[in-house]
Amino acid sequence: MVVGVALSMVLPLLMQNIIDSVIQTRDVEALNGVAMLLLTLFSLEFITSFGREYLLPTTSQLVMADLRVRMYEHLQRLSLRFLERRRIGEIMSRMTNDINAVQNAVTRDMINVVRQVLTLIVGVSIIFLIEWRLALLAVAPLLAIPPIMSKAGAKIKDRTMIFHQRLADVSTFIQESLSGVRLIKAFVLERLTLRMFRDEIDKTVRAAKDVFRTSSFFGALVGFLAELSILSAVWYGGNLVISGVLSVGQVIAFLIYIMTVTGPFTSIAQTWVSWQQSIAASQRVFEILDEKPELIEDSAREMPPIKGHIRFENVSFGYKDGQVVLRNVNLEVKPGEVLALVGPSGAGKSTIVNLIMRFYDPNSGRVMIDGIDIRMVNARSLRRQIGIVPQDPFLFPISIRDNIAVGRPDATDEEIIEAAKIANAHDFILSLERGYESVVGERGCTLSGGQRQRIAIARAILRNPRILIFDEATSALDSESEAQIQRALAKVIKGRTTIIIAHRLSTIKMADKIAVIDRGEIREIGTHRELMAKRNLYYRLYESQLQVFE
């Protein structure tokens, strides 16, 4: 960079020397010396330029890679509440489009500004030494650029923010429409979604035009002022040559210098535009990085080995301010007991599971495991000792073996196969072309719903947890597979605290106790026989299901 600036500053003086001295004296030896000096400078510029052009993109990629890793790591620490109120496509856009926009500002633009500022300082100093009156006249139009930069920068930043939000909307639409492609095809919505997508693209193009209109006008205006500066130098410099104040070589050197000076002015102005766009993008990136995790675990201790005694003490919770999902819940599950949670949709069953897993902390009250308030322990150390089978199991696009071993990467093949047998998954896995090494598609799309569910059950069993949670774990299975799973689970849950959420009440008769939840409160609790004898809410739910199946 310094070599490049030095070369740009020395070259006009060498040109002046060649015109005013070497050519007029016809000194070939001096001309050869100047040529060799220029060759040396050009060679140094080649070497430094190569190093700069290689190192800058490399450094840029390393910085952006580190920023993306930090952002992804931070996202994993944030609560489900944050992720659930954000659109996945928008987060992806911030990690890709917005970080790409920041990239130039933190590397190439920053180095470019340093180089241009050095060139500007040296160049302006030299033209004032050549002829201060000519320098004043030439620099005058350039002094209008800084206030124009300040005014245009705010507009460019605001419009860039809108543009990046539009890009995020497009990413979100693509992500959501591809996730729902089966529904789109089933309801013949291709033309409708295409029209909606075009609308999103049109909004993005309009937002981009607003940015380009402002930045283009700003760039053209800066270029016009730079041309006025050169015109002033040519006009007044010509007059000084005619009057004998300056030589032709001095004016030519001055013109080269003034063009060297207007170049940095124009470049800095363009970089300013780029910085405003980068600032807008970086605000969107750091908005996520500045988000504070809800679960504060700086001083949290490790959860000791769990026995499985769960107790809710006056627990109230809501996902939003003013919302009540659970109200003064008191519940106890002793080690080795099987608790079934039943009730209408939206009653709060899954919320109880979310609190046990410490995906959220209660608004009031305490969730205790083995007499320990789980807010006092590290969430990771707690979750490692709990196995959960969700209603909609998530599978990674890796082999079946690795999917089962997600929670225990060090598990042996024998342990993985045994877990698959218990989950009634072993036979269908062997029927696949590559068996346990078969790679499932994204989210396990190459498998049926029942197959995905059984792999999820095997995954939970393999962890050998003291607490097992089944959230509608058999909902995707046919009756025969469900019966086999129920028989297998009867062996697995022995000695473990087990929470079962089920809508099919016929699957929970073996539970030690059943808690009936309605509108965030536990309405009744007991065994199947006790609750049927009471003829209250559980009785009505059970009878209504019998009528449906009949």
**Residues contacting 273, CB < 8 A, separation 6+:** 152, 153, 156, 215, 218, 219
Position 248: which residue type?
V
Q: Check pLDDT > 90 for residue 367.
A: yes
Residue 549's pLDDT band, with cuts at 50, 70 and 90, is very low
Q: What is the DSSP letter of 137?
A: H
Q: What is the DSSP string of 273-323?
A: HHHHHHHHHHHHHHHHHTPPPSS--TTPBPPPPP---EEEEEEEE-SSTT-
Cβ–Cβ < 8 Å for 419, 461:
yes
Torsion sign across C-alpha atoms 537, 543, 546, 547: negative
Q: Report the 3 state secondary structure along 161-175.
A: HHHHHHHHHHHHHHH
pLDDT given for residue 314 in this prediction = 93
Distances (CA, A) of 542 to 252, 254, 486, 533, 547: 98, 95, 19, 12, 9
Q: Tens digits of per-residue pLDDT, 417-467?
A: 988 888 888 888 888 888 888 888 666 667 777 788 888 888 888 888 889
The token pair that represents 370 in the structure block: 């083995």
Give how far the C-alpha of residue 467 lies from the chain's centroid of Cα atoms, to the nearest Å: 32
- Beta-bridged to residue 33, according to DSSP, are none
Strand partners, 315: 329
Q: How much is the pLDDT for 309?
A: 94
CA–CA separation, 225 vs 301, rounded Å?
Answer: 65
Per-domain residue ranges of the chain: 2-289, 310-549
User: What number of CA atoms fall less than 13 Å from residue 47's CA on the CB side?
Assistant: 7
Burial class (CB in 10 A: 0-12, 13-18, 19+), 345: exposed
How many Å apart are CA 324 and CA 363, to the nearest integer? 10
What share of the chain has pLDDT > 70, as a percent? Answer: 85
What is the model's pLDDT at position 550? 45
pLDDT at 373: 92
> What CATH fold (topology level) applies to the domain 2-289?
ABC transporter transmembrane region fold (1.20.1560)
Of 89-98, 259-268, 321-330, minimum mean pLDDT range: 259-268
Report how far residue 244's alpha carbon sits from residue 150's, in angstroms, rounded to the nearest whole number.
Answer: 41
> Looking at the predicted structure, is the pLDDT value of residue 539 above 70?
yes
Q: What is the DSSP-derived secondary structure letter of residue 142?
A: G
Sorted by sequence, the CB contacts under 8 Å of residue 465 that are 6+ apart come out as: 306, 385, 386, 387, 496
> What is the bridge-based pairing of β-strands 372-373 and 513-518?
unpaired
- For residues 376 and 391, the model is more confident at 376
| 40 vs 361: which has the higher pLDDT | 361
What is the per-residue pLDDT for 224? 85
Residue 7 has pLDDT above 60, yes or no: no
CATH top-level class of 310-549: alpha beta
Segment 297-336, tens digit of pLDDT: 655 788 899 999 999 999 999 888 778 889 999 999 999 8
Radius of gyration of the chain (CA): 36
The pLDDT value given to residue 149: 77
Over range 528-537, report the average pLDDT: 85
Task: Determine phi and psi for 259, rounding to 5 degrees.
Answer: -70, -35
Residue 114 pLDDT exceeds 50: yes
Q: pLDDT tens, 22-45?
A: 556 666 666 667 677 777 777 777
Q: Looking up tokens 């569910």, which residue turns up?
A: 453
What is d(CA 549, CA 35) in angstroms, rounded to the nearest whole number?
98
The pLDDT > 90 percentage for the chain reads 9
382-420, pLDDT tens digit by residue?
988 998 888 778 888 888 898 888 888 888 989 899 888
Please tell me the distance from the alpha carbon of residue 507 to that of residue 504, in angstroms, as a whole number: 6
pLDDT at residue 22, as a whole number: 58
Rounded to the nearest integer, the mean pLDDT of the chain is: 80
Q: Is the pLDDT of residue 548 over 50?
A: no
HEC assignment per residue over 412-454: CHHHHHHHHHHCCCHHHHHHCCCHHHCECCHHHCCCCHHHHHH
- What's the Cα-to-Cα distance from 135 to each of 127, 243, 261, 349, 514, rounded to whole Å? 6, 17, 11, 79, 90
Per-residue burial over 426-441, b = 16 or more CB atoms within 10 Å of its CB, e = otherwise: bebbeebeeebebebe
